[in-house]
Each structure stands twice: as C-alpha cells, then as structure tokens.
Amino acid sequence: MRTPALLLLAVVSLTAAACATPMAAPGPSIDNLQRLRKAEVLSMALSEFRLAPGLPDAMDRRVNVRGSTVTSPNGGSYALFLKETLAAELQAAGKLNATSGVVIAGQLTESEAAAGIDVGVAKLGAMFTVTRDGREVYRKALRVEETWVSSFYGAIAIPMALDRYTGLYSKLVTQLLEDPEFKAAVRP
C-alpha cells in the first residue's frame, strides 16, 4: 500500500516539475512613471507587436527551462506581453492615447532562458519602430540579457530562471524609454 503511494507521489512530482507558470501581469514601475512624466514626450499609441518574420512560432510562445515554461497572459504571445508591459508604463504616466499620431510597433527578435547547473541566462530582444503621422522616425533593435548563479536543483533553478526571464520585459521597456533617440522621436 505504501509503495504504490510513494511511486504515485514520485510520478506526480516528476510531471509537476514540467509545467507552465503564468507570467506576472505587467505593471508600471515608479521610475519609468517618473521618467515619462518628466520627459517632454507626446502621448503615444501602440500598434502591432508580433514575432519578427522568419523566426519559429514557438519563440513567441515558449521558453524552455528544464521542461518548464511561462505562459503569457496576453493570448499566449510574448510579443503581446511586451506590448502590454509598455502599455502599462504609458498608461500609468498618462501617455497612452489610442488616437495619437505617434505610434509604436514592435517585433520580438529574441526570447530565451536557460538554467544551467552553475549559471542561468535569459535574453530578450525586440525591434521597435515609431511612426509619426505615418512616417517612420525611429527604428532600433534593443536587447537585454541577464546571467545569475543557478542551482543543480530544479525546484530552485526553474522558478529562478522563469522569474528572471519575466523581469526582462520591464528592463527592455526601460531601455526603450531611456534611449535618447527614442525620446527625440516622441518629442513634441
């Protein structure tokens, strides 16, 4: 009686280890909020955010960390999660306006996370474009990468890697908002 129960527990533990965790809903940060409030920038609209052409569809939907992943709350798409992260920042600062002539679009170019025994690494990249009244005024590929001390134990290494990966979205948006060329492109 005890042996089957232990076996069942082992099987459940193994299968539970390979699972999908929902990503944290994107929220604004007080630093980006101040950054946007203080900078003289126009209100902006967001248009299409999608996976860059030629990349495998799986890149937009799954990072594989020892069989586990995180799922985007925005239709399962990481590109849309990036859009929502940017939208949350603009919204909090009162700079999001769906009818604005300043329009930001994005293409996901890189999405990766790995938890090695010693070192973990996560990468995220996107090509951002800004158009003003239909004319492209900004086009730039931005990327962020993070490494950290990982662990042999999956119970520690997997959530750590997935948390770090999720945190890259705000970092990428911060990089965009801090980019002097971007600021110049959205200036009145």
Q: In the complex, what is the shortest distance from the CB of residue 41 to another protein, in angstroms, rounded to a whole number?
A: 13
Q: In the complex, what is the shortest distance from the CB of residue 167 to another protein, in angstroms, rounded to a whole number?
A: 4
153 binds another protein, rule: CB under 8 A = yes
Q: In the complex, what is the shortest distance from the CB of residue 157 to another protein, in angstroms, rounded to a whole number?
A: 9
Q: Determine the interface stretch with another protein among 31-39, 61-69, 97-105, 128-136 (rule: CB under 8 A).
A: 31-39
Handedness of CA 35, 36, 38, 42 (dihedral sign): positive
What is the distance between the alpha carbons of residues 80 and 96, in angstroms, rounded to a whole number? Answer: 16
Report how far Cα 13 is from the mean position of its chain's Cα atoms: 29
> What length does the chain have?
188
Stretch (H or E) spanning 86: helix 78-92
What is the distance between the alpha carbons of residues 125 and 31, in angstroms, rounded to a whole number? Answer: 21
95 binds another protein, rule: CB under 8 A = no
The residue ranges that bind another protein (CB under 8 A) are 21-24, 27-31, 33-35, 37-38, 91-92, 94, 148-149, 151-153, 156, 159-160, 163-164, 166-167, 170, 178
